[in-house]
Amino acid sequence: MTDTKRFFTDRILTWNRSHNDRTMPWKNEKNPYFIWLSEIILQQTRVEQGRPYYERFIAAYPTVNDLAKAPEEEVFRLWQGLGYYARCKNMLAAARSIAHSGKFPDTYEGIAALKGVGAYTAAAIASFAYNLPHAVLDGNVYRVLARYFGIDTPIDTTAGKKRFTFLANDLLPKNQAGIYNQAIMDFGAVVCKPQQPLCKTCTLSPHCEAFQKGLTDLVPVKSKKLIIKKRYFHFLLLEQDGKIWIRKRTAKDIWQNLHEFPLVETPAPADLETLRQTPGFQRLLPIKTKTTAPGIELKQQLTHQTIHASFIRFSLSPDFTLPEDYMLVPANQLDKYAFPKIITDYLKR
Ligand code: SF4
């Protein structure tokens, strides 16, 4: 290892000894099930948002066997609001396979084979729970490494991933993998932040390429710009004698396995009259029916999509019916079903 690399690793560990104050309930945890749970919850989720979910999950399911035995609908309801429901489905599948095998895997390969576990999560669990020498690479680590070593290879390319993976593993002190992995992520979150990094007081600044050359705003580099798609959802609240029609979303799309009201999606914003002309609307409500309340509009921002949703209520006669993938449920029992956040926000109103 070169002097610059040794300096980096030593300084990260020294910094951690005096700044180990980023308190999180899963920090210093050794139970692989709790670590795995926290890592799955935190994928694409901020720490402050994920923390209450983590606490609720370990209270409801103190062991992986408890989670494995839980009914899917119950787990989805506990997950409600976190988004990315494929994560929840994979988590349950993984819990069931662990329970079936009799113990939590204790090798990197065994952990990486679990559903929903990628390279980062596998390295985090392997190093935190078992101190196995696998370096984590998340957004914080990419940023610290790119800046300190002045690397401008885009981090979202195969070449970039290869280069950073090799470097991260080269820097890893093999006997302190868990502590070091946590330390470098904390360092990225607290000191080498995306905006306004604390370079003036940073322990790495004497050898930091980006700081020395004034490049902190230019690295890390990404090759692709995130494209955000706009979608227009119109939920029809079809009420019949105190009951309401819902169905489970089964298509491979956002919110798979959650429930929703009958939905018409349009490629652009549409008022009610325009909506009535669409084949989707006419399939659901072929007869002219008056709305019973003004429509309500809500918006939800997902990573790759902005959802603009309108909710329109209709009161229907007792002979109205929908195809068999729809269910008519009592309105006061809607809380038994897991819905996407935008629908629970609407229901809270
Ligand atoms: S000097 Fe600045 S850019 Fe370099 S590692 Fe420290 S905080 Fe990050």
How many CB atoms are located within 10 Å of the residue 55 CB? 12
Under 8 Å between Cβ of 135 and 123: yes
Q: What is the mean pLDDT of residues 253-271?
A: 92
Question: Binning pLDDT at 50, 70 and 90, where does residue 9 land?
Answer: very high
Dihedral sign for Cα atoms in the order 208, 206, 183, 50: negative
In a domain, 222, yes or no: no
Evaluate whether 234 touches 270 at the Cβ level (below 8 Å): yes
Please tell me the predicted confidence (pLDDT) of residue 141.
97
Domain assignment present for 238: yes
- Span 150-158, mean pLDDT? 94
Residues 127 and 9 placed together within one structural domain of the fold: yes
261 against 223, higher pLDDT: 261
Distance CA 42, CA 324 (A): 37
Instruction: Please tell me whether residues 203 and 257 are part of one structural domain.
Output: no
Residue 44, pLDDT score: 82
Q: What pLDDT is recorded for position 84?
A: 79
- Contact between residue 250 and residue 259 where contact means Cβ atoms under 8 Å apart: no
The per-residue pLDDT for 11 is 97
Does 334 lie in the same domain as 197? no
- In this prediction, residue 4 has a pLDDT band, given cuts at 50, 70 and 90, of confident
User: Looking at residue 86, what is its pLDDT?
Assistant: 85
Q: Assess contact for 180 and 12: CB atoms under 8 A.
A: yes
Residue 202 alpha carbon, nearest atom of ligand 1: 6
Which of 48-52, 293-297, 325-329 is least confident?
293-297
Ligand 1 atom closest to 205 (CA): 1
- Domain with 279, as residue range(s), is 229-348
* Protein residue with least CA distance to atom 8, ligand 1: 192
Query: Does residue 198 sit in the same domain as residue 235?
Result: no
Cβ atoms < 10 Å from Cβ of 83: 19
Q: How far is CA 109 from the centre of its chain?
A: 23
Burial of 265 by CB count in 10 Å (0-12 exposed, 13-18 middle, 19+ buried)?
A: middle
- Position 21 scores a pLDDT of 67
Q: How far apart are CA 156 and CA 159, in angstroms?
A: 8
**Residue 39 catalytic?**
yes
User: How do residues 36-94 score in pLDDT, each as one tens digit?
Assistant: 999 999 988 888 899 999 999 999 999 999 999 999 989 999 998 888 788 999 999 99
Identify whether 50 is part of a domain.
yes
> What mean pLDDT comes out for the span 223-231?
85
Average pLDDT of the segment spanning 170-179: 95
Regarding whether 165 and 61 lie in a shared domain, the answer is yes
- Helix (H), strand (E) at residue 284: helix 279-284
pLDDT in tens, 199-210: 999 999 999 999
Question: What is residue 161's predicted lDDT score, i.e. its pLDDT?
Answer: 95
297 in a structural domain = yes
List all residues 6 or more positions away from 324 whose beta carbon is below 8 Å from its beta carbon: none
**Nearest Cα to 285, choosing from 240, 330, 248, 331?**
240
213, 246, 264: which is the final residue of a domain?
Answer: 213
The answer to whether the Cα torsion of 84, 90, 96, 99 is positive or negative is negative
Q: How far is the CA of 170 from the centre of ligand 1 (A)?
A: 20
In degrees to the nearest 10, what's the CA dihedral of 109, 111, 115, 118?
-80
List the CATH number of the domain containing 204: 1.10.340.30
Domain end call among 179, 213, 247:
213
- Say yes or no: 142 and 109 in one domain: yes
CATH of the domain at 236: 3.90.79.10
- Which pair of structure tokens corresponds to residue 293? 């309340």
Give mean pLDDT, residues 314-340. Answer: 92
State the chain's mean pLDDT as an integer: 92
Q: What percent of the chain has pLDDT over 70?
A: 99
Please tell me whether residues 206 and 256 are part of one structural domain.
Answer: no
Task: With respect to residue 220, please indicate whether it lies within any of the assigned structural domains.
Answer: no
What is the band of 22 on the pLDDT scale with cuts at 50, 70, 90? low
Claim to verify: residue 238 and residue 167 sit in the same structural domain = no
Tokens 């992995």: give the residue. 181
One domain for residues 176 and 55: yes
Residue 130 within a domain? yes
Instruction: For residue 304, tell me if it sits in a domain.
Output: yes
251 plus 141 within the same structural domain: no
Final residue before a domain boundary, out of 153, 188, 213: 213
Per the domain annotation, does 342 fall within a domain? yes
Residue with tokens 């710009």: 225
Residues with CB under 6 A from ligand 1: 144, 147-148, 191-192, 197-199, 202, 204-205, 208, 210-211, 216
Number of structural domains found in the chain: 2
Q: What is the pTM of this model?
A: 0.76
The answer to whether 111 touches 105, Cβ cutoff 8 Å, is: yes
158 shares a domain with 305: no
pLDDT tens figures, 297-323 = 999 988 789 999 999 999 998 889 998
Selection from 175, 273, 267, 173 nearest residue 229 by Cα: 267
Question: Are residues 246 and 196 both part of a single domain?
Answer: no
